[in-house]
Structure 1
Amino acid sequence: MHTLNKFITFEHTNEHDLEHDLAHKPKFSTPKINTANGNLSKRWYVHYSYRDPKTGKLKRMNNIYGSANSYKNKEDRLAVLSIYRKRLIKLLKEGYDPFIDNTAFHNSKQNNENNTPVKIEVPEHKIAPSPLPQEPVATPKSPSKEPSKVEGMSLKEGIAYSLELKKNQISDRTYKDYQYSSNTFIAWMQSNKPEIKTIDQINKKVAMDFLNAILIRSSARNRNNYRLNLSTLLQTLEDNEIILSNPMKKTPVLKSKSKRNKTYNPAEKEKIFDHLEKEDPMLLLFIKFFSYNFLRPVEACRLKIKDFDLVNKTIQFQAKNSPLKTKLIPQIVLDELPDLSKLDPEAYLFTPHKIGGFWNATEKNRSNYFSKQFNSIVKKHFKLDANQTMYSFRHTFTTKLYRALVKASSPYNAKSQLMQITGHSTMTALEKYLRDIDAQLPEDYSNLLKDV
């Protein structure tokens, strides 16, 4: 064995360049997870390559499946394969070599510092060593220089992995918000931090530099939104032990100016409704519907005919604070709607030109359509300011309803009844909302200012 090692090391001088290259190149590629583009009918696995000592080139090793494909949902498969990937990286860094007999390696792992037997867990699909030559081949002599550090999951891979885990936990709109924020972050990193290649290299300084760039070009509110979206994705990676800590979580939340949607006074409301009656009756009906039902515009855009229970006069919909919410439809709304019983249950309630039609657009684009119509037909015509929006009508009718209720009862009873109508989950949330829109006004206190 010593003679063969000496022969390989000194006699084959024409292979010096290969040996030199091998000494300065990583022995293996970063193990990656193949998810078959999310197709659960196909096999998912961990794959990697190891440098062939004969050719000096990275060679693809056997895929590692384990028990991952016995799981029937994406989250479980990714969780199992993430564990396999982590264990494989650890074994490779500690010296596991699929091109040699690893008996000595495994024996050395059997005892810890106290000589207590330790079970070495290897992924269930064991890596089969490549056929060896008749004579054992010694491993290349370790260079004096420390081996190159094997890189972790790349920035794009890390973000994509986190998005895949989040996909079935959040709404489509939230998922697209996460995608947009992460794409912006990746593009900024490629332009401003090209030296950072892996997700675990991102630290608080990098996170702050990105957030400051967003702040400079937009606003504190937008900057905080990016921080929240990216922090959520990075926290998922921390929870799955892809990164040690979440750098975005360490950055501060900035104080921002909240956007205030002003209520319309009765005269303004009448002028706008009269104008819409002539210019765009569908937009007027849309405004009345979400305002009288105390919905958000996007919630009204989600509604299909099948969501209506005309017998009990209720609707079911996906709300911001609930996956499925039921609300009573007031008669004032039903009087404005046509007969829904004859319409296709799968049709959307609101479309640009009719009630109960099909509209090939995302819910965000459907909501944006009505907002743009309002800006074009109403906002420009009446020269409204930035805080007078379509959403302001919800505040307008909340204020009107609360003031009508409080005339006939105590403020607490009025709020309790209003809570059932608006759908606020707590009294505290409702009271904050009423303060924000200035719905609660005191009685005239002039007599208190007069001299006694």
Structure 2
Amino acid sequence: MKIEVNITKEPTKEPISFEIVDMSKKKYSEVKIYIPKKKGRKSVAPGDKWYVYFYWRDPETGKMNIKCKYYRGINQKKTVAEREEVAKAYQRSYQMLLEQGWNPLKNKIKNQRSSPKKQKHTLKSAIEYALAIKIRNTKESTARDYKFRSQFFLDWADVNFKSGLPLEQFKLEDFYQFMDYLELDYINKASGERLSNTSIDNTRRVISALFTELKNKRLIDTNFVKGIPKLKSEPLKNRPFTHSQLIEIKKYLEEHDPYLIQFISFLLYPILRPIEITRLKVRDLNTEDWILGVETKTEAFSYRKIITKMQPIIGQMELKGYPGSYSLFTNENKPSIWLPKQEKSKVNHFTNRFKKVKKALGYGKEYGLYSFRHTAIGDLYNSKQAEGIPEQQIIYDLMPITRHKSEAGLRNYLRNIKIALPADHSDIYTIDF
């Protein structure tokens, strides 16, 4: 049996007292997650609170009966998958704190975080800690991307004996080794292909964001990942369509998948992203004032004008009689309840349907659903340019339509999709060949 001897110093004329503590009794239980259930299924209904908890041994009675529970923003997440992801991250964090000697009765967790330099993190525990903070208030798709790319980094760190390094010993040179691995060594086992520069940059961006969180918590002095330059990349996917290609696609869909025409119309006219379309509910369409409510990538909720060109398409959808809570687009080709485990699977459903169209018409992997959105924005730009409107004015006119936050952002977007054509400049030539 292990014992701990605590020596208490008393005045010199008094005897020294000894306290013997039985160390074979663990002070805390395993950290667990409380998940409320209804009819045997995990619930995220209002009032059903999730939390992580453990039991602490009462120092007076010796019984492990002090329940410590922490909500930590878990219940801000809307889906079971999101809550499980955040709760598991906190479960690991609290377990780590307990193993490092943290006493929940003496040190509240906020005090523990107020002086983070006193915490001793390995590279792995630091990344997991930063990830738990970063994904607290993000959408499921963003959280999943952060989790995937950070795990990719940690897998590399494990193989290269760096995950157990004290955080402060992981240097810029180490991260460049990871970048070299992505650029030169990694090959996808399924496809046999290397990573694109865009994919590598996205991974670097995620790790940089986590290092920024560590810097904000004063666990590191600087985020050296942030200073690494982006790789030059040539976008391949989602090339815009020509007008003749759009006609060809619509003709094919009219015969083989007319429901997809309605879905694509929301890409072309309100210029929504695929995931924004799959989030739409029947109640989001106001056909009296012709306004569309959208849960977007950058805003919790915003509104779009349903333009005249779009109104007949909505009329064809015959939405009367469907409950407002029904998803507007589903795998049943009509409004319905659609609650897959992952939000992304909704987008994948329509992506796979369009893949069949591409295969039938002979389009390559450079085309996708986003191609319709790019096509629409490029068409608006070129139409205004054909009217002789100055470029600066075109940018101002398009920003509220495309929802870009800055002129520079929209200009960069137009350069990337390579569909913004220059105006006819024959009149400035002096050459007659």
Same fold (TM over 0.5): yes
Question: 1:439 is matched with which residue?
Answer: 420
Question: 1:128 is matched with which residue?
Answer: none
Give distance in 2, aligned partners of 1:270 and 1:221: 31
Deviates more, 1:254-263 or 1:326-335: 254-263
Matched, 1:82 2:113: yes
Give distance in 2, aligned partners of 1:381 and 1:280: 12
Whether the aligned pair in 1 keeps the contact of 2:123 and 2:163 (CA below 8 Å) is: no
Matched, 1:174 2:155: no
Matched, 1:365 2:377: no
User: Is the partner of 2:313 in helix, strand or coil?
Assistant: coil
Deviations 1:212-255 (A, max 9, x none): 11112313222211111011112212221333443423544322
User: Is the partner of 1:326 in helix, strand or coil?
Assistant: strand
Whichever residue aligns with residue 226 of structure 1, its letter is T
Question: 1:39 is matched with which residue?
Answer: 51
Question: 2:429 is matched with which residue?
Answer: 448
Which of these residues, 359, 368, 374, is aligned with residue 395 of structure 1?
A: 374
Matched, 1:386 2:412: no
Question: 1:132 is matched with which residue?
Answer: none
Which of these residues, 316, 322, 325, is aligned with residue 343 of structure 1?
A: 322
What is the CA-CA distance between 1:47 and the residue it aligns to? 5.4
User: Is the partner of 1:356 in helix, strand or coil?
Assistant: coil
Deviations 1:357-394 (A, max 9, x none): 2222333221122122212x221122123333332222
Deviations 1:75-116 (A, max 9, x none): xx5x433237755x6xxxxxxxxxxxxxxxxxxxxxxxxxxx
Give distance in 2, aligned partners of 1:414 and 1:250: 34
Whichever residue aligns with residue 404 of structure 2, its letter is H
Whichever residue aligns with residue 158 of structure 2, its letter is Q
Matched, 1:208 2:220: no
Whichever residue aligns with residue 80 of structure 1, its letter is N
TM-score under structure 1 normalisation?
Answer: 0.66
Give distance in 1, aligned partners of 2:176 and 2:370: 34
Give distance in 1, aligned partners of 2:333 and 2:292: 19
Give distance in 2, aligned partners of 1:405 and 1:186: 49
Question: 1:234 is matched with which residue?
Answer: 211
Whether the aligned pair in 1 keeps the contact of 2:237 and 2:368 (CA below 8 Å) is: no
**Cα gap change, 1:268 to 1:220, in 2 (>3 Å):** closer
* Superposition pairs of residues 144-163 of structure 1, within 5 angstroms: 152-163=120-131
TM-score under structure 2 normalisation?
Answer: 0.68
Q: What is the number of residues matched between the two proteins?
A: 340
Identity %: 25
User: Is the partner of 1:332 in helix, strand or coil?
Assistant: coil
Give distance in 2, aligned partners of 1:284 and 1:176: 29
Whether the aligned pair in 1 keeps the contact of 2:292 and 2:306 (CA below 8 Å) is: yes
**Cα gap change, 1:449 to 1:366, in 2 (>3 Å):** farther
Question: 2:242 is matched with which residue?
Answer: 265
What is the CA-CA distance between 1:179 and the residue it aligns to? 0.6
Deviations 1:174-217 (A, max 9, x none): 11111101111111111122683443332212211112111123
Whether the aligned pair in 1 keeps the contact of 2:328 and 2:336 (CA below 8 Å) is: yes
User: Is the partner of 2:232 in helix, strand or coil?
Assistant: coil
Whether the aligned pair in 2 keeps the contact of 1:47 and 1:64 (CA below 8 Å) is: no
Whether the aligned pair in 2 keeps the contact of 1:214 and 1:222 (CA below 8 Å) is: no
Give distance in 1, aligned partners of 2:359 and 2:99: 62
- Segments of structure 1 that go 5 or more residues without pairing to the other structure are 1-32, 51-60, 69-76, 90-151
**Cα gap change, 1:201 to 1:383, in 2 (>3 Å):** same
CA RMSD of aligned residues (A): 3.4
Whichever residue aligns with residue 103 of structure 2, its letter is N
Give distance in 2, aligned partners of 1:247 and 1:257: 26
* Superposition pairs of residues 28-107 of structure 1, within 5 angstroms: 39=51, 42-43=68-69, 63-66=103-106, 68=108, 77=109, 79-83=110-114
**Cα gap change, 1:232 to 1:450, in 2 (>3 Å):** closer
Give distance in 1, aligned partners of 2:32 and 2:151: 20
Whether the aligned pair in 1 keeps the contact of 2:116 and 2:217 (CA below 8 Å) is: no
Which of these residues, 149, 161, 166, is aligned with residue 193 of structure 1?
A: 161
